[in-house]
Amino acid sequence: MTHPAEGTAPASPGSHPSGAGGVYRPGLTAAEVAERVARGQVNDVPVRSSRSVREIVRANVFTRFNAIIGVMFGIILVVGPIQDGLFGLVIVANTAIGIIQELRAKKTLDSLALIGEARPQVRRDGAAVQVATGEIVLDDTVLLGIGDKAVVDGTVTEADGLEIDESLLTGEPDPVHKHPGDHVMSGSFVVAGAGAFTATKVGREAYAAKLAEEASRFTLVKSELRSGIDQILRIITYLLIPTALGLIVSQLAVQRHDWQEAVRRMVAGIVPMVPEGLVLLTSVAFAIGVIRLGRQQCLVQELPAIEGLARVDTVCLDKTGTLTEGGMDLIDLRPIGDAAKSRIAEALGAIGAADTRPNPSMQAVIDAYGPPEEGRWRLLEAIPFSSARKWSGVQLLEPGGTEGSWLLGAPDVLLPDGHPALAEVDELGAKGLRVLLLGRSPLPLDAPDPAAELEPLALLVLQQRVREDAADTLRYFRSQDVRAKVISGDSAVSVGAVAAHLGLPGAETATDARKLPADPEQLAEVAERTAVFGRVTPQQKRALVGALQSKGHTVAMTGDGVNDVLALKDADIGVAMGTGSDATRAVAQIVLLDDRFATLPSVVAEGRRVIGNIERVAGLFLVKTVYSVLLAMLVVFTQVPYPFLPRHSTVLSSLTIGIPAFFLALAPNNERARTGFVRRVLRLAVPGGLICGTATFVAYALARADHDTALKADTSVATLTLFITAIWVLAIVARPYTWWRLLLIGTMSGAFALVLVVPWLSDFFQLQLVGWRDPLIGVAIAAVAGCLLEITSRLFVERKPKEEAHAE
The pLDDT tens digits for 630-647 are: 998 898 888 888 888 778
Phi, psi of 150 (to 5 degrees): -75, 120
Question: Between the ranges 117-121, 128-132, 259-263, where is the mean pLDDT highest?
Answer: 128-132
Between β-strands 511-512 and 555-559, what pairing exists: parallel, antiparallel or unpaired?
unpaired
Angle at which helix 64-79 crosses helix 89-115, to 10 degrees, equals 150
Q: What is the pLDDT of residue 109?
A: 61
Amino acid sitting at position 559: G
Report pLDDT digits (tens) over 685-706: 899 999 999 999 999 999 888 7
Task: Please say if the pLDDT value at position 613 is more than 90.
Answer: no
Q: State the DSSP code for 555.
A: E
Alpha carbon 77 to its chain's center: 45
Report pLDDT digits (tens) over 387-396: 667 788 888 8
Q: What is the pLDDT of residue 6?
A: 36
570 is catalytic: no
Phi, psi of 157 (to 5 degrees): -110, -25
CA atoms within 13 A on the CB side of 151: 30
Q: What is the pLDDT of residue 180?
A: 92
Averaged pLDDT for residues 292-300: 81
Q: What is the pLDDT of residue 140?
A: 93
Q: What is the pLDDT of residue 577?
A: 81
- Radius of gyration over every alpha carbon of the chain, rounded to an integer in angstroms: 34
Whole-model pTM?
Answer: 0.63
Angstrom distance (rounded) from CA 457 to CA 464: 23
Selecting among 148, 160, 313, 318, the annotated active-site residue is 318
Regarding predicted confidence, which is higher, 741 or 234? 741
Q: State the DSSP code for 765.
A: T
Q: What is the largest CA-CA distance in the chain?
A: 119
> What confidence category does residue 4 fall into, taking pLDDT thresholds of 50, 70 and 90?
very low
Report pLDDT digits (tens) over 62-115: 877 777 778 878 877 877 777 766 667 767 776 777 777 677 767 766 666 655
Q: What is the pLDDT of residue 81?
A: 72
* 387-393: long-range contacts, CB 8 A cutoff, minimum separation 24: 387/3, 387/191, 387/489, 387/537, 387/538, 387/562, 387/563, 388/537, 389/413, 390/3, 390/5, 390/414, 390/489, 390/535, 391/5, 391/451, 392/5, 392/6, 392/7, 392/8, 392/9, 393/445, 393/450
Closest-CA residue to 564 (of 594, 548, 586, 549): 586
Task: Please say if the pLDDT value at position 47 is more than 80.
Answer: no
Percent of the chain with pLDDT over 70: 85
Averaged pLDDT for residues 45-65: 71
3-state class percentages of the chain: helix first, strand second, coil last, to nearest 5: 55, 15, 30
Closest-CA residue to 290 (of 302, 300, 304, 280): 300
3-class state of residue 264 by DSSP = helix
Q: What is the pLDDT of residue 326?
A: 63
Q: Is the CB of residue 163 less than 8 Å from the CB of residue 177?
A: yes
> Which element (helix H / strand E) includes 437?
strand 434-441
Lowest mean pLDDT among 28-37, 52-61, 188-197: 52-61
Partners of 225 in beta bridges: none
Query: For residue 757, what are the CA distances in angstroms to 24, 723, 734, 762?
Result: 87, 15, 27, 7
Percent of the chain with pLDDT over 90: 17
Regarding predicted confidence, which is higher, 709 or 504? 504
Q: What is the pLDDT of residue 440?
A: 92
Q: What is the pLDDT of residue 174?
A: 65
Contacts of 536 (CB under 8 A, 6+ apart): 487, 488, 489, 513, 544
Averaged pLDDT for residues 27-47: 84
3-class state of residue 688 by DSSP = helix
> What confidence category does residue 725 fall into, taking pLDDT thresholds of 50, 70 and 90?
very high
Contacts of 60 (CB under 8 A, 6+ apart): 94, 95, 98, 99, 102, 283
Q: What is the pLDDT of residue 718?
A: 92
Q: What is the pLDDT of residue 2?
A: 36
Q: What is the pLDDT of residue 688?
A: 93
Regarding predicted confidence, which is higher, 539 or 725? 725
3-class state of residue 716 by DSSP = helix
Q: What is the pLDDT of residue 1?
A: 36
Q: State the DSSP code for 128.
A: E
Report pLDDT digits (tens) over 583-606: 677 778 888 888 777 788 887 788
Angstrom distance (rounded) from CA 20 to CA 9: 10
DSSP per residue, 72-116: HHHHHHHH--GGGGGGGHHHHHHHHHHHHHHHHHHHHHHHHHHHT
Query: Per this entry, what is the length of the chain?
Result: 808
Q: Is the CB of residue 695 less than 8 Å from the CB of residue 643?
A: no
Between β-strands 153-165 and 189-201, what pairing exists: parallel, antiparallel or unpaired?
antiparallel
Angstrom distance (rounded) from CA 438 to CA 70: 75
Whole-number average pLDDT of the chain: 80
Angstrom distance (rounded) from CA 678 to CA 226: 10
Regarding predicted confidence, which is higher, 332 or 430? 332
Angstrom distance (rounded) from CA 646 to CA 783: 25
> What confidence category does residue 544 fall into, taking pLDDT thresholds of 50, 70 and 90?
very high
Task: Please say if the pLDDT value at position 272 is more than 80.
Answer: no
Task: Please say if the pLDDT value at position 150 is more than 60.
Answer: yes
Amino acid sitting at position 14: G
Report pLDDT digits (tens) over 378-415: 888 877 766 667 788 888 888 888 888 989 888 988 98
Angstrom distance (rounded) from CA 350 to CA 365: 10
Angstrom distance (rounded) from CA 139 to CA 136: 9
Averaged pLDDT for residues 300-327: 77
DSSP per residue, 653-665: HIIIIIHHHHHHH
Angstrom distance (rounded) from CA 19 to CA 395: 9
> Which element (helix H / strand E) includes 697?
helix 677-705
Averaged pLDDT for residues 552-568: 82
CB atoms within 10 A of CB 26: 12
Cis peptide bond upstream of 736, omega within 30:
yes
Task: Please say if the pLDDT value at position 761 is more than 80.
Answer: yes
Report pLDDT digits (tens) over 199-234: 998 887 776 555 544 434 434 335 677 777 777 777
Task: Please say if the pLDDT value at position 431 is more than 80.
Answer: no
Q: What is the pLDDT of residue 167?
A: 63
> What confidence category does residue 471 fall into, taking pLDDT thresholds of 50, 70 and 90?
confident
Partners of 437 in beta bridges: 409, 459
Q: What is the pLDDT of residue 114?
A: 58
Angstrom distance (rounded) from CA 684 to CA 781: 20
